[in-house]
Structure 1
């Protein structure tokens, strides 16, 4: 990893910081736009291009080879005296987790749209994820130089599909070369706020720019369009800004309203998410990127203009009595707080949102600091693991290059070098001034947890094995690194075959993981066929099983060896169990719960704490879940383990006996429903579960019947709704009003330029109404669906899907699925 010297100070105040992300559908031009940002800000001397494989942000070999973004690369650069921390995120659905964990630490986002394709499926998905986290956004309509690019059509799609009001702050400029019958070409933008025409020299690097006052531009049509656009912009902003209303009433002319008043109202409305600014350009042709950078610093919020993050403090408090046993136990007290830089000036709090293994420096932990100052060399406490580590070095990144810094202040994004025990989503705290001040942190400080990053369930898996026995150690080490980097990957071992199974979000996700293992981490492994993940569950309650386990066979001082005893049963998890049982423990990510009967009342005082006993129950149960299914030895989910009785000697200091007794009892209980190898008994007492996806398909009206029949018939899907694409009604971005976005899209101003003409004649038949089919479909039936959809719709149909639920497989389908496993 090379080092880079930046030409700006790293002591920027929080008021000059912008933490932004680039989000979009695959191939909309995210990386291309980002490379131009780096070039114009002076970070790079040459413009990197995806097609040439020399981009800065897509620095992994697999990214450069495939021309797509896989990981969320981060970089820091300056624009007009402001410090921008930028994250370029993936656009492929298989890497949605990368997008989620990046959005978690952003203060604003740039949504890039393909001016030809308009608003696409993945764009909607990521847009909604950002909306759920209340991230202010601006939109950049890219590829305006392409044949068929439709700025006006795309703007209307933004309103109707993304459910937002828009503010056009620049509009496209087209010119001819002056010869007879010459076609118009996209050459610049009209700045509606500043009343300027901005033109870029053709085939230049984008630095050769001509700025003309609108009054001096020779085309009356362009002047009239600028006035219409400015009128619409001010009228839209006046809905939310009384000050702008008063200014306009005083002047009485939309063209005379000062740009400072417009920018103030626009910034406030953007941050409050009342409105979404829209710009346009052609990044590959180096047109329109500088105004986009201006909009980032002028319109998107600083860290202090965003709501402060919520955190939870979890404290243990001793109680005299407990439901389990008669000795003193510790109850968990949860207190929710709002974390502000002023709440505790001595406390530094940061969220680890990404972990990466670097071949030279080791583990790199990307963090967002929310309060205090993280200093190089400081000891920090991981509130998730309870461990202490030292921040050996701190970096700020330029993708795979870096600059070492002394500190990372509140509001900033940076990297910790050398942290070995940090995972994605962990909360890190330390003293803001003293590098070894962990002991001075309060109980509240060391038990503080920022909202964790949720990990979606993996739905595909593949076996992964070392090439030789001697390669296993290297494989295990590489897999450990890979799982730290990407928590959406999951590792398990098939107890019957002994195979190691790697699970992920999609086929491409696992393909890239294997590529990283082999080519980056140098593991000598072989990967099996990628398959769909299935689970099992039980359909009846097991018999009650009691099991005792002796800790040692020897007699100590003439007394019988100490033992642990447990009595339990297992039942299907009913929906109300987590609420009914206040002390229910969630065992894993498979929705399995443990409850301990509250009627148990031992009068003895034990050396071992209740927390340790609970942990012993859990460690005993987990092995039974890993491959406890009797149909195909698959992992079990949706179970409720009920411990009815337990007992251990008073003077025992180890939980081994109770843990082992629990493990044996759990397996014996599952065997009471069906013995191993009894497939007939297994299919009666157990059920196979398959992943079902929530699918959204966008098609033209003439293809509706064919697609619906295919989904509901051939693919066994359940149709949830059939809607016209533009018939949406919803709550505005601010959550304050009900809006019919179809009507709003029709009323929204758009310029009457060449793109409108092109969109009607060269792209798609706008007279054919589009429909959205929403359905629940088994994942098995969706493998390879894109090819089928394109065939049915002559290439016009699009779809997106995400995990919805686990659903029981009908008995008639069992033999076919089992044969594939």
Structure 2
């Protein structure tokens, strides 16, 4: 089919979809009308939207997403969190708990556009899922609870999106809830989120304190949803009464745009009465893409009010892939659009299919015919299948073009954050995109097989868990053989444990969840180390040698340079750094630079290099002085005025905390931000409830690691039974 014929057919197909009566539209699945292959090829870049749903837990992300799928015709019925039949939350643990744990992805059509949507978790323990999703998105919908307003995790995910320069729109949900206040929530967006100016493009129509419909300030219309499932949207032009009531909101909208956009300012100054809806939409789009404003909409997804306008706003105001800058590569070259450039942002183990690698294609075309190059690991790979994503369902296609998200089968060694290019286009270029920031885990627990016959199954399960979730760490005490599983929180480790035993069918038991302390060298030190091995072990000859420098730093991570040195050498170093000299906690703040590798062809082996890397570094580490470092949490509290003094005193004196900022609302409540050791926050929910009569609330997230005081370190070492004296720093 010729290109113009394809485009014509595509337009006809969509016009049929959207001219179909609403009562029939919901039962049509797009995949039944045409194959994913055609769907992938015929949609032009400017009609693609790669967007994410981000929010605090329980703001209504999945509920909103399920309506989007239903109104677009992707599903036949509305999935409900309470019923446990949602498309996006498809893992058993997600449906049982009613929360999103992993970032699910799905593709669906809306008004001649394709939306690639990722629904992310709201719980702080699963921030890694949000981080790796935002890395590949072009825009986001931030959902707020209209009664709760801007909450702690809202601030976190908003900052994450801001770090990547992602344009955002805001949807104030749950306007059917008692206490919902649209104007207060918009004010909180300006005060607490700050970097983007909120611009209301809608106002809620409230009846008896519950939302009945919404006002479209741009088109000068009122919108009402007449049927219970919200399929039919009734639009009514403003009459004189409506104009008198809502015109001030439209004027404020125009004034905000005029302050920020010179092109719109000219039209506004000429005659504000002649400003059209198209003029407003154009200005809003420009400013949204420039990350100067965040358009704000409202509704109640649970009562099926307001979702279709959110879909319209995604199409109108969020960018296409070509409107976002191409991410920078590490090579000093100008990347040509026709050369393949992709990023692996998620890896999942599937029992039937093997490894599923989720990728975002930034440039070029990715197909099964292309020999791929993993620039992050300097290896070749080939995809046996390319598939589009529909939550836990996939549809095979021949190729995926720039701007799209897909799943690849057949890749053996690609991991989260790896860069993928075409082998024939990058033979002499080891191209790498910026990776994905992985947070340090702050909780850990012992894990062991229930019997020796279960050891191999548990080992395999732990490898899969680390592969799927980079924020999980598995370490092993080389003296006792005890394995430690580390993660971002108690819920995180609980979910990981269920995945190990139920999904991966490894019979294992887990110890008590504890704080994940680490060690760092007490004194700044640097040394050049060299050594070699030539010996028989277990009937095998090990030959190899290394020379490298090792130094301590103030950083919270370890660095091994060059980044593309042999994986066997990296594994040896990483294994040696798992046991610190003081209490066998993992070491951080170590930089290693490999200077020379001794390799004799036909005699040397990777096992020998792994062995010499481990033994030399381990021998050096045990002779150093180290200090314990502990996780520090960023804590946000909302406290009534009468309890503020009590709460602040408790943070300072009772919990070794440091208050960094306070803010007082017009209602007299105080928001307090503090940095507190995680060890001091255990049991804090009960304590805070007791001290404030249940009127205060808090949330926390991992912030950093800091060296402990000598007294605290001594107390921890005593509790662990470590009898060696603390060495001077």
Q: Provide the TM-score with structure 2 as the length reference.
A: 0.86
Aligned with 1:704 (options 644, 667, 671): 644
Q: Residue 804 of structure 1: CA displacement? A: 1.4
Q: Residue 369 of structure 1: CA displacement? A: 0.3
User: Does residue 1:167 correspond to 2:134, yes or no?
Assistant: no
Aligned with 1:5 (options 11, 24, 31): 31
Q: Residue 395 of structure 1: CA displacement? A: 1.4
Contact 1:689 1:809 in 2 (8 A): no
- Aligned counterpart, 1:239: 259
**Structure 1 runs, 4 residues or longer, greater than 4 Å off:** 540-550, 561-571, 592-595, 614-623, 639-643, 645-653, 655-673
For 1:395 and 1:565, locate their aligned partners in 2 and report how far apart those are by CA, in whole Å: 44
- Aligned counterpart, 2:4: none
SS of the residue aligned with 1:148?
A: coil
User: Does residue 1:190 correspond to 2:222, yes or no?
Assistant: no
Q: Residue 660 of structure 1: CA displacement? A: 5.6
User: Does residue 1:784 correspond to 2:683, yes or no?
Assistant: yes
Q: Residue 387 of structure 1: CA displacement? A: 2.6
Change beyond 3 A, Cα 1:516–1:725 = farther
For 2:251 and 2:155, locate their aligned partners in 1 and report how far apart those are by CA, in whole Å: 29
SS of the residue aligned with 1:498?
A: coil
Task: Report the aligned-residue RMSD.
Answer: 3.2
Contact 1:4 1:402 in 2 (8 A): no
- Aligned counterpart, 1:627: 579
Q: Residue 541 of structure 1: CA displacement? A: 7.9
The aligned runs of 1:467-616 (5 Å cut-off) are 467-539=450-522, 551-552=534-535, 573-575=552-554, 590-591=557-558
User: Does residue 1:228 correspond to 2:248, yes or no?
Assistant: yes
Change beyond 3 A, Cα 1:80–1:809 = same
Q: Residue 648 of structure 1: CA displacement? A: 7.3
Q: Cα deviations across residues 276-327 of structure 1 (Å, max 9, x unaligned)?
A: 10000000000000111111101111111112211112xxxxxxxxxxxxxx
Q: Residue 670 of structure 1: CA displacement? A: 4.6
The aligned runs of 1:258-337 (5 Å cut-off) are 258-313=276-331, 335=332, 337=333
Q: Structure 1 stretch 301-310 or stretch 465-474: which is displaced more?
A: 465-474
Contact 1:77 1:85 in 2 (8 A): yes
Contact 2:88 2:104 in 1 (8 A): yes
Q: Residue 39 of structure 1: CA displacement? A: 0.3
Aligned with 1:638 (options 589, 607, 621): 589
Aligned with 2:122 (options 77, 84, 91): 91
Q: Residue 54 of structure 1: CA displacement? A: 0.5
- Aligned counterpart, 2:23: none
Change beyond 3 A, Cα 1:129–1:6 = farther
User: Does residue 1:443 correspond to 2:428, yes or no?
Assistant: yes
For 2:267 and 2:564, locate their aligned partners in 1 and report how far apart those are by CA, in whole Å: 65
Q: Which runs of 5+ in 1 are unaligned?
A: 176-182, 314-334, 431-437, 555-560, 579-588, 596-609, 674-684, 727-765
Q: How many residues align?
A: 682
The aligned runs of 1:594-743 (5 Å cut-off) are 621-629=573-581, 631-639=582-590, 654=604, 663-672=614-623, 685-719=625-659, 721-725=660-664
- Aligned counterpart, 1:369: 361
Q: Residue 640 of structure 1: CA displacement? A: 6.3
- Aligned counterpart, 2:26: none
- Aligned counterpart, 1:459: 442
User: Does residue 1:408 correspond to 2:400, yes or no?
Assistant: yes
Change beyond 3 A, Cα 1:205–1:718 = same
User: Does residue 1:804 correspond to 2:704, yes or no?
Assistant: yes
SS of the residue aligned with 1:69?
A: coil
Change beyond 3 A, Cα 1:658–1:23 = closer
For 2:216 and 2:401, locate their aligned partners in 1 and report how far apart those are by CA, in whole Å: 35
The aligned runs of 1:82-231 (5 Å cut-off) are 82-163=113-194, 164-175=196-207, 183-201=208-226, 204-215=228-239, 220=241, 222-231=242-251
Contact 1:107 1:301 in 2 (8 A): yes
SS of the residue aligned with 1:450?
A: coil
- Aligned counterpart, 2:344: 352
Contact 1:196 1:212 in 2 (8 A): yes
Q: Residue 77 of structure 1: CA displacement? A: 0.3
Contact 1:112 1:139 in 2 (8 A): yes
Q: Residue 619 of structure 1: CA displacement? A: 6.1
Q: Provide the TM-score with structure 1 as the length reference.
A: 0.77
Q: Over alpha carbons, which structure has the higher Rg?
A: 1
Change beyond 3 A, Cα 1:338–1:86 = farther
Change beyond 3 A, Cα 1:389–1:172 = same
For 1:68 and 1:524, locate their aligned partners in 2 and report how far apart those are by CA, in whole Å: 26
Change beyond 3 A, Cα 1:639–1:205 = closer
Contact 1:687 1:809 in 2 (8 A): no
Contact 1:566 1:665 in 2 (8 A): no
Q: Which runs of 5+ in 2 are unaligned?
A: 1-28, 722-729
